[in-house]
């Protein structure tokens, strides 16, 4: 299956997920991936062992398009069960953060198109038992589908491919401190961004886990602006948002901000693992002031600072 063109109507808070299942010890688990991260779905591949494979779920690697070497992860082993052995097992090849990774699964069911409002945020118990690898829950056709945080899984299984945040130069640029609203459903990303931006001394962060929570926060600030007559930039100087989030995604959030005559003064940066040429156009169409991928991390604070300074001028 080739990658499909999701979110045909930008800012409608929709997504497509591909549902797959994994035969675990005694039951069949159902999981979902955002189609935007899927390169293709094919048959099981013969792999070559990788030196010093860091986890038993990493089976090895195989050559993909243009000679690209792709690691293969057995999802049953990752989930604490025995290996996947059925002959009709499928391999889902993904790309995010400019990295290709393949996942061996027992089978693939179908693609669903749904709204982010249909995606429930995982509770604390599920977060704990899944080691924060589940970012959303979808209830479809009398079964539960868990949406997986691929970045967290890859970081756990192959630490060399984990996202790392390093300050651009480790120094404070100006005496002013900027207040930023950061929106991301991944607890690990929130922690890393908080550490990066606050240790430089230029930024104070208010964080929310999805677009709806962020919009509720912005609506309260908007009401305050209407009462006091002050501009929104008196209270907040910028927004950083992920795209994939339960309840409301980052594109829909950005569209709401830029369509509001008070909030539109806020610069909005889309910060996602999915940025490519097509999604970059979609970010621009909802009025995003900047968009960049999560591997582009050393420059995060510099880009954010420049974005705010341009908005001030």
- Specify whether 234 is located in the same domain as 261: yes
Tell me which H or E stretch contains 83. Answer: none
Task: Name the residue range of residue 248's domain.
Answer: 178-312
- Specify whether 147 is located in the same domain as 235: no
How many domains is the chain built from? 2
pLDDT at 224 (0 to 100): 96
pLDDT at 65 (0 to 100): 82
Cα three-residue angle 35-247-104, rounded to 5 degrees:
30
pLDDT at 154 (0 to 100): 81
Q: What pLDDT tens digit does each residue of the chain (313 aa) get?
A: 444 444 446 678 888 999 999 998 888 999 999 998 899 999 998 999 877 777 889 999 999 887 888 999 999 999 888 899 999 999 999 988 778 899 999 999 999 999 999 999 888 777 776 767 788 899 987 889 999 888 778 877 766 655 555 544 555 555 678 999 999 988 878 888 888 888 766 899 999 999 999 999 999 999 999 999 999 999 999 999 999 899 999 999 999 999 999 999 999 999 887 767 777 888 989 999 988 876 666 667 888 888 888 877 6
Q: Assign residue 215 the CATH number of its domain.
A: 3.40.50.2300
- Specify whether 93 is located in the same domain as 63: yes
pLDDT at 196 (0 to 100): 83
Residue 269 forms part of a structural domain: yes
Tell me how crowded residue 205 is: count the other CB atoms within 10 A of its CB. 17
| Residue 237 C-alpha from the chain's centroid | 23
d(C-alpha 120, C-alpha 87), whole Å: 34
- Specify whether 148 is located in the same domain as 205: no
φ and ψ of 245, to 5 deg = -155, 145
Domain boundary among 161, 191, 219: 161
- Specify whether 156 is located in the same domain as 219: no
Q: Which of 304, 209, 220 is nearest to 250 (CA)?
A: 209
Burial code (b: 16+ CB inside 10 Å, e: under 16) for 120-145 equals ebbeeeeeeebebbbbbbbebeeeeb
């Amino acid at each position: 299956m080739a990658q499909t063109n999701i979110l045909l109507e930008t800012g409608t808070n929709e997504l497509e997920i591909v549902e797959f299942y994994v035969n675990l010890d005694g039951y069949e688990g159902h999981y979902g991936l955002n189609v935007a991260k899927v390169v293709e779905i094919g048959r099981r591949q013969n792999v070559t062992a990788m030196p010093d494979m860091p986890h038993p779920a990493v089976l090895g690697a195989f050559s993909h398009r243009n000679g690209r070497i792709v690691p293969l992860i057995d999802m049953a082993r990752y989930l604490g069960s025995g290996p996947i052995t059925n002959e009709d097992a499928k391999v889902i090849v993904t790309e995010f953060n400019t990295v290709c990774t393949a996942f061996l699964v027992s089978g693939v069911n179908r693609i669903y198109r749904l709204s982010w409002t249909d995606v429930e945020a995982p509770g604390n118990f599920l977060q704990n038992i899944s080691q924060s690898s589940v970012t959303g829950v979808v209830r479809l056709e009398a079964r539960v589908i868990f949406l997986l945080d691929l970045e967290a899984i890859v970081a756990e299984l192959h630490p060399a491919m984990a996202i790392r945040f390093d300050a651009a130069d480790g120094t404070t640029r100006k005496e002013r401190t900027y207040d930023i609203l950061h929106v991301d459903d991944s607890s690990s990303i929130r922690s890393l961004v908080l550490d990066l931006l606050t240790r430089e001394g230029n930024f104070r962060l208010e964080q929310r886990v999805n677009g709806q929570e962020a919009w509720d926060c912005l609506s309260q600030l908007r009401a305050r602006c209407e009462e006091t007559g002050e501009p929104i930039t008196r209270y907040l100087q910028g927004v950083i948002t992920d795209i994939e989030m339960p309840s409301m995604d980052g594109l829909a959030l950005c569209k709401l901000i830029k369509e509001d005559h008070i909030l539109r003064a806020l610069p909005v940066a889309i910060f996602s693992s999915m940025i490519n040429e097509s999604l970059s156009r979609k970010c621009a169409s909802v009025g995003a002031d900047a968009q960049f991928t999560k591997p582009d991390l050393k420059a995060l604070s510099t880009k954010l600072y420049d974005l705010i300074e341009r908005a001030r001028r």
